Amino acid sequence: MKVIVVTGGVLSGLGKGIAAASIGQLLSKNHVVCPIKLDGYLNVDPGTMNPVEHGEVFVLADGSEVDMDFGHYERFLGITCSRDSSITMGKVYSLVHERERRGDYLGKTVQLIPHVTDVIKELILSASAHADVALIEVGGTVGDIENEMFIEAVRQLSQDVGRKNTLFVHLAYVPRPGWLGEHKTKPAQQSTQLLLQRGIIPDVIIARSETPVDDTIKQKIARFCNCSLVISGHDVRDVYTIPLNFASQGIVETITSSLGLRAEHPDAWQSILNQSVQATEELRIGIAGKYTALEDSYASVVEACRHAAAHLGVRTSFVWIDTSHTIDGLKIADAVDCVIVPGGFGGRGIDGKIEIIRACRENNIPFLGICYGLQLAVVEFARSICGLTGAHTTEIDANTPHPVVDILEEQREITQKGGTMRLGEYEAQIIQPSIVHQLYGQDRVSERHRHRYEVNPKYHDILSSHGLVFSGMYNDLVEFIELPNHPFFVATQAHPELKSNLDKPAPLFMGLLRAALHQERS
Ligand code: GLN
């Protein structure tokens, strides 16, 4: 068993997830890599957290709600992760308490060390039992109180599996203040000292900076931090070039010599990336939501657009439409080439989203609705086309005269909030001919879900008799809708962005961007 641990220093938000995913990608051709995320918060999972605070909630195929870094792992490694890979302090403490109540620790004082650290190690080992490499990302920054037990547990783990089977990678911010015009290494040195105090000597330091870090600075960091390899982790236009950037600075050789693993330069993405580098044409993609303050809230939607754009040889720019303000649909329609209304919850921004959907429908602007986006497209269609005045989703208006979107039957009795939605992968039956069938080229389509509401079966007839096509169903649950006689008006109850990657862009995003490109050229 080999262990690679990625820690972060100086600042949070440096991109540890992408760094870990990039290292994993270099190994994934020859080894089974199991990414594991250790998160210090006491929530059992991030499912109930605000995306503006925490970034998008990613949903795995098995229905677990996990940190957005799992999106990077799955996209970079081309794998499907499992719920066991997400280890939060909330999960760890729940387990410790369960065991304590059961009497597993009879006679003992239950303590952070060894009881909590033992549970962390046990969870890491059982999650990665099938793998050659456990790729462990420690959330937060070294020195944070809340991840101390994780740092201690990975230190012990390296002792257990043997130091020669462990590689510690530390991602540290190396600032280049404008008034000095040069990179400064002190913060990286000090965050490395925090690691050393905890008994961990980093083998590799990734010097994270806005601009490339030159050899002199790299050597200085190597000397002061006592580490053999320092890599410049500078900003790049396209995150998918990062594995290649790391590889070009010697990480492959370090992994090979220190762990005896076979790491390889990735080549599969090269031609797709070249195409996207050469692209000159740009598509303006409008994303309408209430969490637009933080792009990370819609991370997978943005990535799915980038995957499709790379395949179509175009660039993307994102127009963030904050629907919590009053919206002029037509003005927005002018400023974008297509619109996505992504998933969401609650009432804020709802009228703006409905207004944008109307503008797209009436003005032939390519539109993709995701989850809430489908539900609101149905509300808009019911009001404008079926004449159902006041139609709404009961999530917002429990007394609407026309509950065209209503709570799922199985959700009615549920009172607990955490992990209780309809979650994970479900297979829809696709009708033929339809745009959705044409895009997927399959009769059955599996996508991931995260919702409590659905299109009310009592309204199926009236909606479809007015021209709304239900192009995919899961029993009587509407999974895909579309409008014929529109350049592209498609929505899904699922989250197809979660399965998109650079090798295999999500078909609905391909359809949306292709339609936008076509409109733009005609
Ligand atoms: N709020 C809606 C529901 O719970 C949509 C959820 C979503 O967009 N993920 O059904």
Write down which residue in 229, 248, 271 finishes a domain: 271
Give 113 or 272, the one with higher predicted confidence: 113
Output the CA 39–ligand 1 centroid distance in Å: 25
Residue bearing tokens 């740092």: 151
State the total domains in the chain: 2
**Domain membership flag for residue 160:** yes
344 CA: nearest ligand 1 atom: 8
Output the CA 298–ligand 1 centroid distance in Å: 14
Write down which residue in 247, 271, 295 finishes a domain: 271
Are 129 and 198 in the same domain? yes
Please determine, for residue 253, whether its predicted confidence score (pLDDT) is greater than 80.
yes
Output the CA 76–ligand 1 centroid distance in Å: 27
Q: Which residues are catalytic?
A: 371, 495, 497
Are 377 and 294 in the same domain? yes
Mean pLDDT within 175-200: 96
**Domain membership flag for residue 398:** yes
CA distance 249 to 222: 14
Are 341 and 256 in the same domain? no
If you take atom 1 of ligand 1, which residue's CA is the nearest one? 345
Residue bearing tokens 């939501």: 289
Are 347 and 491 in the same domain? yes
If you take atom 3 of ligand 1, which residue's CA is the nearest one? 451
**Domain membership flag for residue 400:** yes
Are 160 and 191 in the same domain? yes
**Domain membership flag for residue 413:** no
346 CA: nearest ligand 1 atom: 1
**Domain membership flag for residue 449:** yes
**Domain membership flag for residue 512:** yes
Are 187 and 215 in the same domain? yes
Are 28 and 166 in the same domain? yes
Are 182 and 205 in the same domain? yes
Q: Which of 48, 65, 357, 450 to mutate to test the pocket of ligand 1 (most atoms within 8 A of CB)?
A: 450
Q: What is the CATH number of the domain that holds 91?
A: 3.40.50.300
Q: 140-179 pLDDT, tens per residue?
A: 999 999 999 999 999 999 999 999 999 999 999 999 999 9
pLDDT band at 294 (very low <50, low <70, confident <90, very high): low
For 290-376, where are the E strands, in sequence order? 315-322, 338-341, 367-370
Q: Which of 452, 479, 493 to mutate to test the pocket of ligand 1 (most atoms within 8 A of CB)?
A: 452
How much of the chain exceeds pLDDT 70, in percent? 98
DSSP lists the bridge partners of residue 3 as 134, 166
Q: What is the pLDDT of residue 292?
A: 64
pLDDT band at 108 (very low <50, low <70, confident <90, very high): very high
Output the CA 14–ligand 1 centroid distance in Å: 30
Output the CA 231–ligand 1 centroid distance in Å: 42
Please determine, for residue 295, whether its predicted confidence score (pLDDT) is greater than 80.
no
Q: What is the pLDDT of residue 273?
A: 78
Q: 417-473 pLDDT, tens per residue?
A: 888 899 999 999 999 999 999 999 999 999 999 999 999 999 999 999 999 999 999
CA distance 403 to 388: 10
Are 241 and 382 in the same domain? no
Are 190 and 291 in the same domain? no
If you take atom 5 of ligand 1, which residue's CA is the nearest one? 372
CA distance 294 to 53: 8
**Ligand 1, pocket residues at CB < 6 Å:** 343-345, 371-372, 395, 450-453
CA distance 308 to 48: 30
Contact 469, 482 (CB under 8 A): yes
Residue bearing tokens 């913060």: 187
Are 131 and 259 in the same domain? yes
Give 12 or 324, the one with higher predicted confidence: 12
CA distance 30 to 401: 59
343 CA: nearest ligand 1 atom: 8
Mean pLDDT within 7-34: 95
Range of the domain at 150: 2-271
Mean pLDDT within 211-238: 95
Mean pLDDT within 320-330: 83
What's the pTM value of the predicted model, to 2 decimals? 0.94
Q: 23-81 pLDDT, tens per residue?
A: 999 999 999 999 999 999 999 999 988 887 888 999 999 999 999 999 999 999 999 99
- DSSP codes of every residue in 284-309: EEEEEES-TT-GGGGHHHHHHHHHHH
Best CA proximity match to 395, nearest among 387, 383, 385, 404: 404
- Distances in Å between the Cα of 153 and the Cα atoms of 33, 45, 75 are 20, 20, 28
Please determine, for residue 375, whether its predicted confidence score (pLDDT) is greater than 80.
yes
449 CA: nearest ligand 1 atom: 9
Average pLDDT, the chain: 94
Output the CA 344–ligand 1 centroid distance in Å: 6
**Domain membership flag for residue 385:** yes
395 CA: nearest ligand 1 atom: 1
Are 45 and 103 in the same domain? yes
Output the CA 449–ligand 1 centroid distance in Å: 9
Write down which residue in 237, 255, 271 finishes a domain: 271
**How many Å separate Cα 128 from the centre of its chain?**
21
**Domain membership flag for residue 448:** yes
Mean pLDDT within 296-313: 93
Q: What is the pLDDT of residue 271?
A: 77
Q: Which of 375, 394, 406, 478 to mutate to test the pocket of ligand 1 (most atoms within 8 A of CB)?
A: 375
Best CA proximity match to 94, nearest among 50, 43, 47: 43
Mean pLDDT within 252-261: 93
C-alpha triplet 380, 385, 386: angle, nearest 5°: 100
